Amino acid sequence: MRAKLDERHIGNPVMVGIHTGGAWVAERLHRLLALTAPLGVLDISFYRDDFTRIGINPQVKPSQMPGDIDDRHVILVDDVLYTGRTIRAALNEIFDYGRPASVILAVLIDRNGRELPIQADVTAHHFELGPQQQIKLQDGPDSLQLVLSEITDGG
Amino acid sequence: MNKENLQLDRQGNLRHFLTIEGLNRVLLTEILDMAESFSGVSERTVKKVPLLRGKTIVNLFFEASTRTRTTFELAAKRLSADVLNINIPASATSKGETLLDTLRNLEAMHCDMFVIRHPNSGAAHFIARHAASHISIINAGDGRHAHPTQALLDMFTIRRCKPSFHNLCVAIVGDMMHSRVARSQIHALSTLGVREIRAIAPRTLIPAAAETLGVHVYHDLREGLRDVEVVIMLRLQHERMRGASLPSEHEYFQLFGLTEDKLALAHPEVIIMHPGPINRGVEIDSTIADGPRSVILQQVAHGTAVRMAVMARAIGPHAVESGAGDR
């Protein structure tokens, strides 16, 4: 992560985690990198592309952006990069707050199954999983735990 | 058909929003929480989210309104929906028949949601029963019956100012007889679990059955205001009053107008609310309406976020589901 920031000559980035797993990872990263700008949290429920199919998530949380993001370098953090649809939604939401100078995507897990042309800039782990397998970050924010499960039909 | 069930689909999701009655605390709290998320949208560079892109919402107003219609319009636009505003003076129609004709015409234009204000109680229910199954109905005030989005934005405002509903003592002051707002507020306050609801009004402006709703009735403003933490003033509704319910506006202000000296009896951290429009010097003194304890303008600001939440919940997957069933 540090190397990527150095490579791009980014001094004072704004870190934004995607609710909920991404926000937990971002919290850790934010501390490890000792970033000065406050951490942001995005809940992308209002930007999902499946609203007309599944409706609104009733537990949506407010998004919190740390001040003005115009011309700032943003590090977008999520737990698992899978289809890419969440990141598409998050990018759209970020641009409704302003025009960042750049956006870097950092994820804990990069797994196969992409449906959109979106790739991570920084990845901690890469997994090859079957289409019926699901990986999830749980038990945050204190004791993070990755859980691998099989999706049963209809579930 | 059962009024309460009309609002919810088989899974218990909101389909129409017609009245607070029959909606439980969990659902009301979820809507208030969602409004909290939507309230941030108004403060951003781009003041809208793409949630209802491609949906068409019709504001169908059979009764004059500025604030309610404007905030519904703003809410729909902040959700990226297309909005039609249709104002129809109710006196120009022959009720039932014309209402259905209007409905059929709008359905033919492929609209997804009707926001309805009508001078007759039950108009929104009537339309919800007869509209095509893919259309959601929001009640923006029907006669003396209900004004549920106003009640919810009032709850949102209370929640922003007070730590919890549970130990709260709330007084509603004024014309309860003609007020759809008061009726919806009482249902919302009791569903959310406030400790005490007081209704303060002259005998001629309070329904005989008010106590069956679980409110404590007072006919003396000073007595009723003692230790209350939230005061909700109601507008004196000249246009709905027939005959002489009141001696004079001047006398009403003497007895039931909110003034500094009467308010001194309330809790020191009392907040003052009013659904608007205010009759200054009739039900409330200007110094109070514009004073530090007044949250009247906050109520207006919260109206947009709360209406966004109600619209987002009511337009949902069921629209697609039932739409597919029609084909």
What are chain A's domains?
Answer: 2-130 (3.40.50.2020)
Q: Are residues B24 and B116 in the same domain?
A: yes
Give a yes or no: residue B178 inside a domain: yes
- Taking alpha carbons only, the member of B144, B233, B142, B241 closest to residue B183 is B144
pLDDT above 70: residue B81: yes
Is residue B312 in a domain?
A: yes
Q: Domain check: are B123 and B257 in the same one?
A: no
Residue B327 lies in a domain: no
CA B70 to chain centre: 14
| Domain-embedded: residue B325 | no
pLDDT digits (tens, 9 = 90+) for A130-147: 988 989 898 877 778 888
| Contact in structure between B176 and B207 (CB atoms under 8 Å) | yes
Do B101 and B212 fall into the same domain?
no
ipTM of the complex: 0.85
DSSP A39: P
Q: Report the gap between the CA of B35 and the closest CA in chain A (Å).
A: 9
Instruction: Note whether B51 and B161 are same-domain residues.
Output: no
Residue B157 belongs to some domain of the structure: yes
pLDDT for the residue numbered B320: 45
Instruction: Say if residues B221 and B200 touch (Cβ distance below 8 Å).
Output: yes
Distance from the Cα of B316 to chain A's closest Cα (Å) equals: 4
Q: What is the CATH number of the domain that holds B237?
A: 3.40.50.1370
Dihedral pair phi/psi, residue A148, rounded to 5°? -100, 130
DSSP secondary structure code for residue B258 in this structure:
B
Contacts of B233 (CB under 8 A, 6+ apart): B173, B174, B258, B272, B273, B274, B278, B283, B284
Spell out which residues of chain A touch residue B316, defining contact as CB-CB under 8 Å. Answer: 51, 55-56
**Cα gap B135→B116, rounded to integer Å:** 12
Q: Are residues B35 and B66 in the same domain?
A: yes
Q: Provide the H-helix boundaries in chain A.
A: 2-7, 21-32, 51-54, 85-95
Q: A71 CB near a chain B CB, below 8 Å? A: no
For the residues B52-62, what does the mean pLDDT come to? Answer: 95
Q: Residues B160, B295: one domain?
A: yes
Q: Can you tell me the mean pLDDT for B74-78?
A: 97
- Alpha carbon distances (Å) from A37 to A103, A108, B59: 15, 21, 43
Q: Are residues B72 and B200 in the same domain?
A: no
Q: What is the C-alpha radius of gyration for chain A, rounded to an integer number of angstroms?
A: 15
- Nearest neighbour of B13 by CB, restricted to A45, A46, A55: A55
What pLDDT, on the 0 to 100 scale, is given for residue B95? 55
Which residues are paired to B60 by β-bridges? B86, B116
Do the domain assignments include residue B326?
no
How many structural domains comprise chain B?
2
Q: Do B37 and A63 touch (CB under 8 A)?
A: yes
B45 and B125 both lie in a single domain: yes
Q: Are strands A145-150 and A133-138 parallel, antiparallel or unpaired?
A: antiparallel
Tokens of B48: 């809208």
Domain encompassing residue B178: 148-300
Lowest-confidence segment of A78-82, B82-86, B166-170, B204-208 by average pLDDT: B204-208
Cβ A62–B30 below 8 Å, yes or no? no
Does the pLDDT value for residue B211 go beyond 90? Answer: no
Angle made by CA atoms A66, B295, B190, in degrees to the nearest 5: 100
Confidence of residue A154 (pLDDT cuts 50, 70, 90): very low
Question: Phi, psi at residue B183, to the nearest 5°?
Answer: -60, -50
- Which residues of chain B have a CB within 8 Å of the CB of A16? none
CB A149 within 8 A of CB A133: yes
Interface membership of B37 toward A (CB under 8 Å): yes
